[in-house]
Structure 1
């Protein structure tokens, strides 16, 4: 997917089985359950994770 020109303008999305993953309220602990948790797409959560990661590698 990352190398496909068809998805070049698309960012910040999760894909599985060659399709965009459906958003689910929370990620089950079971392996193999399809979907991406809604919190994984939250911009504020992403910003906090980015800030934490960059502070760790500095």
Structure 2
């Protein structure tokens, strides 16, 4: 649904579960199903995403 819904046209960089935007995980849940509908704060951190991109480029530059 997230890939084709006109309601999400132009929306990018978000996590979805059960046709809804995932809530940010603030504490550990005891229910594994609930955990699957949450997103960890570090997974949506722009600074961490930038660092991952930089490291990925460095690693690829060294591939022969």
Asked if Structure 1 and Structure 2 have the same fold, meaning a TM-score greater than 0.5 normalized by the shorter chain, the answer is yes
Q: What TM-score do you get using the length of structure 2 for normalisation? A: 0.68
Gaps of 5+ in 1: none
Question: Separation in 2 of the partners of 1:47 and 1:27?
Answer: 26
Kindly indicate which of the two structures has a greater share of residues assigned to helix: 2
Q: What TM-score do you get using the length of structure 1 for normalisation? A: 0.73
Gaps of 5+ in 2: none
The answer to whether residue 3 in structure 2 is matched with residue 23 in structure 1 is no
CA RMSD of aligned residues (A): 2.3
Moved segments of 4+, more than 4 Å: none
Counterpart of 1:11 in structure 2 is 12
State the number of aligned residues: 57
Query: Of the two, which has the highest radius of gyration?
Result: 2
